[in-house]
Amino acid sequence: MVSLTAVAGIAVVAFGMVLLPGPNMMYLVSRTITQGRRAGYVSLGGVAAGFAVYAAAATAGLTAVFAVVPALYTAIRLAGVGYLLWLAWQAVRPGGTTPFTPRELPADPPRRLFAMGLVTNLLNPKIAILYVSLLPQFTDPSRGHVWLQSLVLALVQIAVALTVNGIWVLCASAVSSFLTRRPAWQRFQRYVMGSVLAGMAVMLGLERSHAAVAAP
């Protein structure tokens, strides 16, 4: 069975990643500010469904595909690097914004909110990298049933991500109002956010191929 150290490790990784801005946070926060918390939580339901799809894929042995076709993993990894650098630039560029910047969005019905939350999560390169590259590093074949270990670790990640994203939905309006009234804090938050994103992009770019990591 999975070790407590692995559970704690994936929980820390999941917590660190969910704090960083990405498609999920941006969509949930923008929807909450525009349509209210109910819309935010309906959208979060779609995000949860996306996590379930990733968890099922990880349990079914998704990483084995990338061990056989390492070029596919490399392409996903480089796409993730490019996306993180783009987010970093959007944060620090002159006139840059944060996920908490109010913006006008048309009101969507619950079905569309759920569907967009699902699609946003499935196309989120940050989550793809987590499941393809990071989660397998916490499994240990010597402890038996890698698929079961992957499932437990995925459930831990989902629990952490949904809890933190739920807090973002709960506090989105208050945080947006706070930053709007305090431009200096908004600039500080943007620069910290951009620096962390750029650092993640560098670390991901320097990572060895998944095939090499997975090799015995």
Domain range list for the chain: 4-214
Question: Tens of pLDDT along 83-129?
Answer: 777 777 776 777 666 555 656 667 789 999 999 999 888 878 778 77
pLDDT at 215: 40
Mean pLDDT to the nearest integer, 67-78: 71
Contact 121, 26 (CB under 8 A): no
Is the pLDDT at 213 greater than 50, yes or no? no
Residue 75: HSE in the Cβ half-sphere, 13 Å Cα cutoff: 5
**pLDDT for the residue 98:** 59
Q: Please report the pLDDT score of residue 214 as a whole number.
A: 41
CA 42, 51, 44: angle at the middle one, nearest 5?
15
Q: pTM of the prediction?
A: 0.73
